[in-house]
């Protein structure tokens, strides 16, 4: 469970090797030793276990100045779950329950209750240039305005899936949801979009709000576990990671909810990975275009997440893949990190943008809606979209949400 005491022993496995130095986006952007995973672990040990340091504002800043991208965890030779330990530390530090971020996470994402008037005003304000260019742009209509319930497969149904719609798709990019629905249906997959879904809970965990994350997990697992489906898919890699790896850690191991979480996690898959494994039945038409692929950081929870988009899009004749120098370089967004730590986020994003701009790719695909949002802020000359939206284009359709 996400309590520091649970990680006391595993923290001792950190050999101080500094391999995390090569993969930490924050360190590479700031070159500050305090931002390395090993030094954050040392700080946690001294504050919470040894009590040799106080939890100062500077200490809080260091522990919060992390994207939770999981890159250090993925490359740690000792397999120290650094991001889980940081989540536990943030839980120990407590949340700013009266702050703007806490309100956004708890009231909007936690309950998926964006007031309709706020969404409309936000969309209008952004159209006329109020609020700055690098703020989330709410869609005029959320995904559930047009999609819910059962959607039949075209032709013979090969499988039936439940579709967990993440907050990024629901609020910002409902066109991605349309692409998932249309592409799956065209390929003989029936879709169940159950009502009552809320945020997966990972933004709440990042804020140290364990109880808020538990509430979200309880709500979603109760809905998803009750469905008679072959699989559960999500288009967002962060949502998938939450269900697959994080949800069970929000509760004690003897909590009865663990059985439901386990069943949901077993069925959970990322949309492109699931479709690629099942295979296409409708061959895409030729499409003359060039695209690059930005690999999301939250990819390690399923082996096929990283390669599935390329495998699917390789079926499109005339569609050329333009490899980036470092396709796995973090974009710097990380939920609300880019708003909390704007300067660092921009430094992280800068080489990613340069990598894309020097390519001749006309489009950039990525599964992560937050990556899509943050990259698109500075890529006015290129379309940034979900891989299934590009696949839908090859079917002679468009995922624009109208």
363 bridge partner residues: 291, 383
Question: pLDDT, tens digit, for every residue of 277-293?
Answer: 999 999 999 999 999 99
Dihedral angle sign, alpha carbons of residues 177, 340, 119, 130: negative
Q: Which CATH architecture has domain 282-394?
A: 3-Layer(aba) Sandwich (3.40)
Question: pLDDT, tens digit, for every residue of 179-213?
Answer: 999 999 999 999 999 999 999 999 999 989 999 99
Coil/strand/helix, residue 129 = coil
pLDDT at position 16, please? 86
Where, residue-wise, is CATH 3.40.50 in the chain? 143-276, 282-394
Element (H, E) at 268: strand 268-270
Euclidean distance between CA atoms 329 and 126, whole angstroms: 29
Question: pLDDT, tens digit, for every residue of 336-384?
Answer: 899 889 999 999 999 999 999 999 999 999 999 999 999 999 998 899 9
pLDDT at position 76, please? 87
Strand order in the sheet with 189-193: 149-151, 189-193, 159-164, 231-234, 268-270
Q: Do the beta carbons of residue 24 and residue 35 sit within 8 Å? A: yes
pTM above 0.85, yes or no: yes
Euclidean distance between CA atoms 102 and 98, whole angstroms: 7
Q: Work out whether strand 363-365 and strand 289-293 pair parallel, antiparallel, or are unpaired.
A: parallel
pLDDT at position 107, please? 55
Q: Do the beta carbons of residue 144 and residue 119 sit within 8 Å? A: no
Residue-wise DSSP of 179-234: HHHHHHHHTTEEEEE-TT----SHHHHHTT-HHHHHHHHHHHHHHHHT---SEEEE
CB atoms within 10 A of CB 263: 14
CATH topology of domain 143-276: Rossmann fold (3.40.50)
Q: Please calculate the CA angle 160-164-169 and round it to the nearest 5 degrees.
A: 125
């Amino acid at each position: 469970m996400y309590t520091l005491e649970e990680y006391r022993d595993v923290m001792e496995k950190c050999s101080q090797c500094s391999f995390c130095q090569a993969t930490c986006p924050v360190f590479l952007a700031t070159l500050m030793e305090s931002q390395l995973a090993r030094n954050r672990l040392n700080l946690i040990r001294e504050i919470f276990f040894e009590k040799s340091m106080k939890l100062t504002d500077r200490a809080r800043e260091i522990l919060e100045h992390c994207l939770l991208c999981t890159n250090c965890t993925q490359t740690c030779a000792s397999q120290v779950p650094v991001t889980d330990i940081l989540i536990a530390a943030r839980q120990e530090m407590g949340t700013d329950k009266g702050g703007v971020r806490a309100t956004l996470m708890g009231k909007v994402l936690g309950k998926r209750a964006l007031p309709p008037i706020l969404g409309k005003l936000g969309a209008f304000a952004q159209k006329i240039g109020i609020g700055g260019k690098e703020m989330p742009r709410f869609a005029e209509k959320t995904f559930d305005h047009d999609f819910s319930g059962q959607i039949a497969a075209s032709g013979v149904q090969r499988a039936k899936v439940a579709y967990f719609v993440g907050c990024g798709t629901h609020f910002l990019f409902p066109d991605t949801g349309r692409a998932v629905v249309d592409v799956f249906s065209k390929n003989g997959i029936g879709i169940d979009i159950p009502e009552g879904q809320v945020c997966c809970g990972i933004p709440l965990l990042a804020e140290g709000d364990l109880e808020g994350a538990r509430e979200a997990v309880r709500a979603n697992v109760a809905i998803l576990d009750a469905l008679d489906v072959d699989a559960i898919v999500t288009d967002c890699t962060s949502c998938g990671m939450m269900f697959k790896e994080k949800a069970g850690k929000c509760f004690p191991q003897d909590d009865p909810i663990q059985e439901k979480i386990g069943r949901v996690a077993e069925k959970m898959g990322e949309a492109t990975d699931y479709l690629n494994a099942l295979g296409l039945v409708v061959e895409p038409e030729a499409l003359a275009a060039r695209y690059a692929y930005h690999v999301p950081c939250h990819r390690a929870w399923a082996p096929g997440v990283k390669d599935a988009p390329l495998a699917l899009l390789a079926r499109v004749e005339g569609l050329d893949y333009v490899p980036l120098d470092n396709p796995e370089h973090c974009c710097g967004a990380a939920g609300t990190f880019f708003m909390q730590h704007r300067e660092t986020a921009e430094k992280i994003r800068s080489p990613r943008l340069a990598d894309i701009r020097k390519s001749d790719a006309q489009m950039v695909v990525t599964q992560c809606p937050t990556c899509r949002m943050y990259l698109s802020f500075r890529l006015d000359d290129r379309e940034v979209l979900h891989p299934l939206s590009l696949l839908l284009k090859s079917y002679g359709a468009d995922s624009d949400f109208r």
